[in-house]
Amino acid sequence: MNNERQFLVLLAPIVSEKSTMQTQAANQYAFRVARDATKSEIKSAVERLFQVNVLSVQTLNYAGKAKRMGRHAGRRSSWKKAYVRLAEGNSIDLGIA
């Protein structure tokens, strides 16, 4: 994977109550990723950016929901989420207290 692509694969970490519990219980981190990213690209990007050893990657595709604002109908964008499991002893500092 080229250097530019690895910065386009990971869009943002997902910090929620569920993802925090997954981090503590299974050393698993959640990221919002590009819709066209593959598991191997996600693994490579996390390993290069955070200098960790990735054991597995699980991905989920979320379909955008139909929403209304008054009489105007619209649709939210579809997106992709990835759960990344790290090897024992590795961790990622997301800068959250």
Backbone angles phi, psi at 36, to 5 degrees: -100, 10
Provide the residue count of the chain: 97
Q: What's the predicted TM-score (pTM) here?
A: 0.87
According to DSSP, the β-strands at 66-69 and 54-62 are: unpaired
Q: What is the C-alpha separation between 39 and 45, in angstroms, rounded?
A: 10
pLDDT digits (tens, 9 = 90+) for 38-71: 999 999 999 999 999 999 999 999 999 999 999 9
| Superfamily (CATH H level) for 3-86 | RRM (RNA recognition motif) domain (3.30.70.330)
* Proportion of the chain above pLDDT 70, given as a percent: 95
The model's confidence at residue 96, banded by pLDDT at 50, 70 and 90, is low
Domain boundaries, the chain: 3-86
Q: What is the rounded average pLDDT of the residues 72-94?
A: 94
Whose CA is closest to 86, among 52, 59, 44? 52
pLDDT digits (tens, 9 = 90+) for 16-30: 999 999 999 999 999
Q: Return the amino acid letter for 94.
A: L
